[in-house]
């Protein structure tokens, strides 16, 4: 029987043989939501890099990259944009390649690099993602990017939403998958309201990105599944 | 405002400055329950050690130690007992010093060694523990021992039970504390039933320790709080 395991922090990735899993990287506020939106909107590729300097180096290559860098929730000085989904509209990204570094999401992605496949999940592409996952007949590891390796509720709740769609297909769930799904039951009727009590939310509100948050909690407004191909995230075809 | 943070796995302990916290080590099935029960029943001290060899070495000192060693849920060959609470009755442990090594609990304890204080929590001493914690005016870190660094539901649920008793006293809760408390709301009316769906429970059932599990889920049958004093757990006085 295939497994669905939920990895509640990137710091726990070493507990898993990621080679045995399709990994879904989850960073709801906001990297994975923006990546899904950007790929849906025709971005040719998104290159996730770990460090701001790597991101900047692409600019020096003189090619037509869009450079996106976020640290601690803010756009890094000197960059085109960060990880607000409103920077990933068709008008801005269609046909473009974006180089992206973020506080949490790209970190989780690089730690999962040996996985069978790495895809990006968000509420935006939830059902498309689950339909594809269900068709793969593989173990699934849902990796919550968290906040600087700390557990966070929004990523966990999304993991629970994935479990919700897949659990009828007789996967074996670990305790974290059970917990994530139970938390999703508590929050699903009004996810925005449920998340208002969380710590990260408070931090994000201080950053003035309430509009981004509402955007990232929309369910099934996209169908593209970003998948890592070499060093680039592209549309799964 | 003081904080209550929940550390969902020993692998996440490095994220915290444990010096700033009173740490509660939680290993419900079964080490922390048995430690609480043994100290309640008059054990003079319990010495937690990391390795089976260290535990055995105490026997060679020729003193009157009880040696307890558990790995993967079973008593290690050649030892007096493991971590079943039924080995920690007054008849067996009163006036004795026990040297204990377990798969998860002693590991979590040693990683927390720089904390302001380290105490042991279980459902057995829940209210006594919470009353004492509330009186301390310190930050509290609830460390779930988990299973080989993996998240587990029983330790998390207990953390949620502690949050439940303390949250009215205006602590700041991190996301993990919120999640643990929410899960406790789901499970509190029949904790045994709620935990039946978990992975660790299945493993424990295979070990034939159903009776131990029921014992460990009793609430408030003890009042002693084991506290680390040097290298020994003794009764907080």
Contact between residue A98 and residue A65 where contact means Cβ atoms under 8 Å apart: yes
Beta bridge partners of B35: none
* B183 close to A (CB below 8 A): yes
What pLDDT score does A62 carry?
A: 66
Distance CA A81, CA A75 (A): 6
Residue A101: CB partners within 8 Å, gap ≥ 6?
A: A48, A49, A50, A51, A52, A54, A55, A68, A69, A70
**What is the separation of C-alpha A214 from the centre of its chain, rounded to a whole number of angstroms?**
16
What pLDDT score does A201 carry?
A: 67
Contact between residue B8 and residue B156 where contact means Cβ atoms under 8 Å apart: yes
Q: Which of A233-237, B58-62, B104-108, B126-130 has the lowest mean pLDDT?
A: B58-62
Distance CA B84, CA B82 (A): 6
Span A17-46, pLDDT tens digits: 999 999 999 999 999 999 999 999 999 999
Query: How would residue A64 be classed by pLDDT, with cut points 50, 70 and 90?
Result: confident
What pLDDT score does A77 carry?
A: 92
What pLDDT score does A60 carry?
A: 84
Question: Above 80 in pLDDT, residue B168?
Answer: yes
Test the B interface: residue of A13, A175, A183, A193 with most B CBs within 10 Å: A175
**Mean predicted lDDT score pLDDT of chain B:** 93
Of B15, B173, B178, the CB nearest to A149: B15
The tally of CA atoms less than 13 A away on the side-chain side of residue A190 is 4
What pLDDT score does A230 carry?
A: 95
Tokens of residue A123, six digits: 């509420």
Query: How would residue B64 be classed by pLDDT, with cut points 50, 70 and 90?
Result: confident
Chain B residues near residue A183 by CB distance under 8 angstroms: 179, 182-183
Which positions 127-156 of A are in contact with B (Cβ < 8 Å)? 148-153, 156
Which of B141, B127, B148 shows the shortest CA–CA distance to B36?
A: B127
What pLDDT score does A105 carry?
A: 81
The pTM assigned to this predicted structure is: 0.95
Residue A150: CB partners within 8 Å, gap ≥ 6?
A: A9, B12, B15, B174, B175, B176
What pLDDT score does B128 carry?
A: 98
Class of residue B70 by CB neighbours under 10 A (exposed 0-12, middle 13-18, buried 19+):
buried
Q: Which residue of B has its CA nearest to A187?
A: B182
Question: Above 70 in pLDDT, residue A153?
Answer: yes
Of B8, B173, B186, the CB nearest to A151: B8
Question: Above 80 in pLDDT, residue A165?
Answer: yes
Contact between residue A60 and residue A49 where contact means Cβ atoms under 8 Å apart: no
DSSP string, chain A: --EEEEE-SGGGGGGS-GGGEEEEEE-TTTHHHHHHHHHHTT-SEEEE-SSHHHHHHHHHTTS-EEEEEEETTEEPTT-SB-S-GGGSSHHHHTT-EEEEE-SSHHHHHHHTTTSSEEEEE-GGGHHHHHHHHHHH-SEEEEEE-TBTTB--HHHHHHHHHHHHHHGGG-PEEPHHHHHHHHHHHHHGGGHHHHHTTSHHHHHHHHTT-HHHHHHHT--SS----EEEETTEEEE--
Cβ contact A176–B149 (<8 Å): no
What pLDDT score does B224 carry?
A: 98
Distance CA A224, CA B147 (A): 37
Question: Above 80 in pLDDT, residue A205?
Answer: no
Question: Above 80 in pLDDT, residue B135?
Answer: yes
Contact between residue B140 and residue B133 where contact means Cβ atoms under 8 Å apart: yes
* A188 close to B (CB below 8 A): no
Q: Which residue has the higher pLDDT, B9 or B237?
A: B9
Q: What is the mean pLDDT of residues A137-154?
A: 96
Query: How would residue B61 be classed by pLDDT, with cut points 50, 70 and 90?
Result: confident
Span A51-60, pLDDT tens digits: 999 999 998 8
Question: Above 90 in pLDDT, residue B62?
Answer: no
The residue count for chain B: 237
**For a pLDDT cut of 90, what percent of chain A falls above it?**
81
Test the B interface: residue of A199, A201, A203 with most B CBs within 10 Å: A199
Span A68-90, pLDDT tens digits: 998 888 899 989 888 899 999 99
Chain B residues near residue A156 by CB distance under 8 angstroms: 179
């Amino acid at each position: 029987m295939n497994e669905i395991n939920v990895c509640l922090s990137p710091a726990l990735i070493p507990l898993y043989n990621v080679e045995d899993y399709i990994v879904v990287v989850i960073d709801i506020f906001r990297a994975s939501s923006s990546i899904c939106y950007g790929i849906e909107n025709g971005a040719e590729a998104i290159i996730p890099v770990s460090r701001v300097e790597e991101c900047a180096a692409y600019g020096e290559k003189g090619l037509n990259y869009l450079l996106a860098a976020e640290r601690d929730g803010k756009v890094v000085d000197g960059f085109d944009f960060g990880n607000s989904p409103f920077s990933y509209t068709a008008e801005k990204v269609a046909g473009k390649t974006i180089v992206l570094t973020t506080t949490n999401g790209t970190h989780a992605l690089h730690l999962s690099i040996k996985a069978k496949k790495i895809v990006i999940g968000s509420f935006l592409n939830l059902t498309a993602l689950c339909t594809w996952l269900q068709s793969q007949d593989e173990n699934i590891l849902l990796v919550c990017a968290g906040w600087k390796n700390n557990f966070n509720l929004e990523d966990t709740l999304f993991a629970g939403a994935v479990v919700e769609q897949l659990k009828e297909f007789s996967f074996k769930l670990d305790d974290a998958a059970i917990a994530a799904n139970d938390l999703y039951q508590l929050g699903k009727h009004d996810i925005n309201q449920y998340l208002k009590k969380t710590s990260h939310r408070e931090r994000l509100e201080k950053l003035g990105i309430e509009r981004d948050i509402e955007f990232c909690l929309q369910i099934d407004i996209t169908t593209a599944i970003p998948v890592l191909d070499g060093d680039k995230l592209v549309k799964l075809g």
